[in-house]
Structure 1
Amino acid sequence: MKRPYYLFSSGRLKRQHNTLALEKTAGERLPDDAPEDEGLPSSHPDGGRTPFPIESVDSLFLFGEIDINSKLITFLGQQGVPAFFFDYYGNYSATLYPRENLLSGRLRVQQAKHYLSPKKRLTLARTFVEAALFNIERVIKYYQPRLVGEAQQETQVTLQALVRDRDALPLTTDIFTLMAVEGRIRDRYYKLWPHFLGKEVASKFPMNKRERRPPSNELNALISFGNSLCYSTVVRQIYRTALDPTIAFLHEPGDRRFSLSLDIAEIFKPLLVDRAIFRLLKTGEINSKHFEKHLEGCYLSDAGRKIFVQHWDERLSKTVHHRTLDKKVSYERLIRLECYKLVRHLSDPAGNTYQGLHMWW
């Protein structure tokens, strides 16, 4: 069974006969933006080699400093294995995307038409935001019964505002307003996080406000890293369909980014990223020693990223009984099913109207 591989060691990834091998290096990795960096490997081979069969590789997530050559790129392309690169600070930076093998000119034309039609685009954008707000509401309602006093009252006020804004989504007339609504609710939602985490954990990991570039504190660092994993995971699932990842509806398509992954990730961040953060902090699996300060920002250390990724991989494998399919499906499979629903909508909007995933568990 194929699965994603997460590589944290530095070295050279190469084709070895008809499989893959990582020739590890020893030494400290330099930051990608270090003044003394000359674009050469930061360390030298230590003789260690880790082989793994290409038949078991669904995708590669590269967190170390990895050297590759054209032979490897060709091999990965032939095998249909995408590779996702993360920089020194754990930010998702690039994708090595194999040549597309699930091409559909008809679907691509329909996807472009839906973007170019203000009415059709707005319909899909509303659906992404509505599903994202619904899933945020589910997370809030999960924790609300565990709260008392002022914390529960504040949570109830946020829930009322969320429901009011969600019910008013059909009245929105432009994308900018939609994104403003989603951003406003997320800001209120983040202010509830200290209540969800509990006083002891919240005192160690305060949440003042969401800050991204760079993350200002430990909680912002966790959100940024988790979101990067979510975006790249969604890209991996989009690649398994005929969707064009560059044509989006809520987020504006731009250069050098897969905007559609940002749209779909909005739906899954409450389930995958936010709940992962709550779990890792409340159990103490990630604590203050797993963070580092760089360039006026705060980032997960290498050890912290390994812990997060291990939990992430386990979370993607968790299953839930799908009410329509009447069988258990993994959280990761839910992302693929979301892509399929979008494909059906683009092909036949009247007969297969898209509705974003609503958590039912």
Structure 2
Amino acid sequence: MKSLLNTLYVSTDGAYLKLEGETLVLSVEKVKKHQVPLHHLGAIVCLGRVAISPALMARCMEDGRSIVWLNEHARFQARVEGPVNGNILLRQAQFRAADRVETALALSKAFIAGKLRNSRNVLLRSARDSKDEEAKAQLVRAAKSLAINLRNLAHAESAASVLGLEGDAARVYFEQFNTMIKPQMREEFEYKGRSRRPPKDTVNALISFLYALLGNDCRSALETVGLDPQLGFFHVVRPGRPALALDLLEEFRAVLGDRLALTLINRGQLRQKDFDFRPGGAVMLNDTGRKTVILAYQERKKETLQHPVLESQVEIGLLPLLQARMLARYLRGDVEAYIPFFNK
């Protein structure tokens, strides 16, 4: 199995990356700040204004190492990579599957089943940890509601039905987000309903940033196995939208995004000082906050868990790649069904 290589996240404005021998060197205003052996890196992600030397860029392309630029909100801007991975036969199978209504529906149901089950587990985990009996009861009721949606999902006969069940489950789940935050942290981290582009509170700023990091990992995983991240099955296809990456992301939002966000909040690892509050109500992580989140995200990816299908311990950071491989096997006809990732 492929070992998990580090992703280098560079969030310092004005940073310059260059190659010295077999080492990547990071400088700011011509002062060397950091260096790392290039062979330790699987990808480079630049947040904000970061420059890269042509020599380093060429070497990364030669090695098959992707370079991604995200803005300060972690929204995708550009990607540089070498030759396309995989073979045309897999992509042809993907495009044929997208044209088959029954296949698209089956995959949509699988992606959302993963999302609902993992969201339910986050609610139940928070209920077990809660010392407030009323809060515990609220979380258990919400989890039961998601279990009903999960059962109904199995009988959904159209894309509209899947979308409706997903939307209702998301509403129930996010209505309890404040309940999952410890009482002493709710003043600084009050969830006021889902808001994007821009986020309107600290919770939305945090989870949107994590979803963007995770979405980039899902996109990279799909490209690694040779799938087209633009052609999805649940999310609507439109120019510039990585629909399949968003499909795969659904399985991991709760278990890798929301749970990490709640950990950072409830342990006090993030505070209001880690956010910028902009005119007009926009809220975003500042440089210190981004570094805290990225470090925690990287550490989380190194942890291991028991994969329910492979029945072996795997690094969490490899989960998107493993699911992308399973999806490729299904599209090639090697297996009868695609099984989403369920976190126990």
Q: TM-score, normalised by structure 2?
A: 0.91
Match of 2:91 among 105, 108, 111: 108
Checking the alignment, whether the CA contact within 8 Å between 2:25 and 2:32 is kept in structure 1 is no
Runs of 4+ in 1 over 6 A off after TM superposition: none
Match of 1:138 among 117, 121, 132: 121
Match of 1:118 among 101, 107, 121: 101
What do you get for the CA RMSD once the two structures are aligned?
2.0
Q: Which amino acid aligns with 2:307?
A: H
Checking the alignment, whether the CA contact within 8 Å between 2:221 and 2:321 is kept in structure 1 is yes
C-alpha distance in 1 between matches for 2:210 and 2:115: 16
Against the structure 1 CA distance between its residues 156 and 324, is the aligned structure 2 distance closer, same or farther, given a 3 Å change threshold? closer
Instruction: Give 3-state SS (helix, strand or coil) of 1:246's partner.
Output: coil
Correspondence for 1:177: 161
Aligned-pair CA distance for 1:68: 3.3
Checking the alignment, whether the CA contact within 8 Å between 1:92 and 1:229 is kept in structure 2 is no
The C-alpha deviation readout for 1:176-225, integer Å capped at 9, x for no partner, is 33223212211221121222112111222111200011100100100110
Query: Quick one: percent identity of the two aligned structures?
Result: 22
Match of 1:62 among 46, 57, 61: 46
Correspondence for 2:10: 7
Match of 2:327 among 342, 348, 354: 342
The C-alpha deviation readout for 1:317-357, integer Å capped at 9, x for no partner, is 100133554432111122211111111111117x4311101
Checking the alignment, whether the CA contact within 8 Å between 2:46 and 2:70 is kept in structure 1 is yes
Checking the alignment, whether the CA contact within 8 Å between 2:192 and 2:201 is kept in structure 1 is no
Number of residue equivalences: 338
Against the structure 1 CA distance between its residues 302 and 317, is the aligned structure 2 distance closer, same or farther, given a 3 Å change threshold? same
C-alpha distance in 2 between matches for 1:164 and 1:329: 30
Instruction: Give 3-state SS (helix, strand or coil) of 1:320's partner.
Output: strand
Q: Which amino acid aligns with 1:14?
A: K
Q: Does 1:205 align with 2:208?
A: no
Q: Which amino acid aligns with 2:155?
A: L
Correspondence for 1:20: 24
Q: Which amino acid aligns with 1:150?
A: E
Correspondence for 1:35: none
The C-alpha deviation readout for 1:254-301, integer Å capped at 9, x for no partner, is 222322111111101111111111111111110110000225200001
Against the structure 1 CA distance between its residues 151 and 15, is the aligned structure 2 distance closer, same or farther, given a 3 Å change threshold? same
Correspondence for 2:239: 255
C-alpha distance in 1 between matches for 2:196 and 2:323: 27
The C-alpha deviation readout for 1:89-146, integer Å capped at 9, x for no partner, is 443333223322x321111111001111111101101110011101111111112234
C-alpha distance in 1 between matches for 2:283 and 2:18: 33
Uncovered stretches (5+) of structure 2, i.e. residues with no partner: none
Instruction: Give 3-state SS (helix, strand or coil) of 1:206's partner.
Output: coil
Checking the alignment, whether the CA contact within 8 Å between 1:245 and 1:260 is kept in structure 2 is yes
Correspondence for 2:137: 153
1:1-361 residue pairs with structure 2 within 5 A? 2-9=5-12, 10-24=14-28, 45-48=29-32, 50-68=34-52, 70-100=54-84, 102-147=85-130, 148-296=132-280, 297-348=282-333, 351-360=335-344
The C-alpha deviation readout for 1:60-100, integer Å capped at 9, x for no partner, is 11124112354443222111111121213443333223322
